[in-house]
Amino acid sequence: MSLRTLATLTGRHRGHLSKLERGLAGASGETVGRIARALDVPEAAITHKETTT
């Protein structure tokens, strides 16, 4: 998925998403949630946090 598409789906700026991708900025919980929903993956898949069941 392109940054342009991800930005459209998340309502975030491409520049900010690019910085997140390169590790130059942090993401709020809301942004993490938006990205996870856009990618159709659990938040843990992009935060590397394990979930308990």
Mean pLDDT for back-to-back runs of 10 residues, the chain (53 residues): 96 96 94 96 85 58
- Indicate if the alpha-carbon torsion angle 14, 15, 18, 19 is positive or negative: negative
pLDDT for res 42: 94
What pLDDT, on a 0 to 100 scale, did the predictor assign at position 47? 86
Question: Residue 38 corresponds to which amino acid?
Answer: A
CB of 12 closer than 8 Å to CB of 39:
no
Record the pTM: 0.82
Q: Is residue 49 part of a domain?
A: no
C-alpha of 43 from chain center: 8
Q: Is residue 50 part of a domain?
A: no
Asked if residue 26 is part of any domain, the answer here is yes
The domain total for the chain is: 1
Structural domain harbouring 31: 3-40
Beta strands in the chain (DSSP E): none
Q: What is the pLDDT of residue 11?
A: 97
Q: How far is CA 34 from the centre of its chain?
A: 6
- Identify the pLDDT of residue 48: 77
Structural domain includes residue 9: yes
